[in-house]
């Protein structure tokens, strides 16, 4: 009986995931193929190489013109905040979820503190100093749209 239940549950799960993939505009084969491609790229070191290059480029630009780079990241942060504010009934949660996805591989949290405080933390040993500075500016600007202010 247990084996029959496991088979039924497995088939049900497969059908559910196939329908989910179809709902996102791909079939299950395409989804698995894409995942396989991503795993291959990761195993070959390609995702790490691109990520490392990205942090280095941001860091070099930061060292070259700190004010300009801060302004660019601040503007994009404001845009993200406004985008999520207009998109959702719970924009803070939506933005937090997006940042969690954006910072995949990092330890990112945004939790309610005392009263109306929001405590945001993002830890990643691969971030350069320049990237850390401008990403903090981005996060600060995005959450400022919802009335949050950085505490020193």
pTM: 0.72
Highest mean pLDDT pick, 5-9, 36-40, 80-84, 112-116? 80-84
Q: What tens digit of pLDDT does each residue of 72-119 get?
A: 999 999 999 999 999 889 999 999 999 988 888 789 988 888 888 889
User: Residue 84's CB: how many other CB atoms inside 10 A?
Assistant: 22
CA-based end-to-end distance of the chain: 62
The closest of 77, 151, 80 to 114, measured between CA atoms, is 151
pLDDT (0 to 100) of residue 96: 92
Distance between CA atoms of 149 and 137, rounded to whole angstroms? Answer: 12
Which is it for the CA torsion 77, 66, 109, 102, positive or negative?
positive
Q: What are the backbone angles phi and psi of residue 119, rounded to the nearest 5°? A: -105, 115
């Amino acid at each position: 009986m247990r084996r029959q239940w496991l088979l039924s549950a497995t088939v049900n799960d497969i059908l559910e995931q196939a329908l989910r993939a179809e709902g996102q505009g791909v079939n299950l084969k395409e989804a698995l193929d894409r995942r396989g491609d991503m795993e291959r790229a990761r195993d070959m070191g390609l995702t790490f190489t691109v990520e490392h290059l990205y942090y280095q480029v941001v860091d070099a630009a930061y060292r070259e013109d700190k004010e300009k780079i801060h302004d660019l990241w601040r503007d994009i942060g404001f845009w993200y905040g406004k985008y999520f504010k207009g998109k959702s009934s719970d924009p803070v949660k939506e933005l937090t979820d997006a940042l969690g996805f954006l910072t995949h591989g990092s330890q990112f949290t945004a939790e309610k503190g005392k009263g109306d405080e929001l405590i945001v933390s993002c830890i990643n040993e691969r971030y350069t100093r320049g990237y850390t500075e401008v990403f903090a500016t981005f996060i600060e600007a995005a959450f400022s749209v919802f009335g949050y202010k950085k505490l020193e």
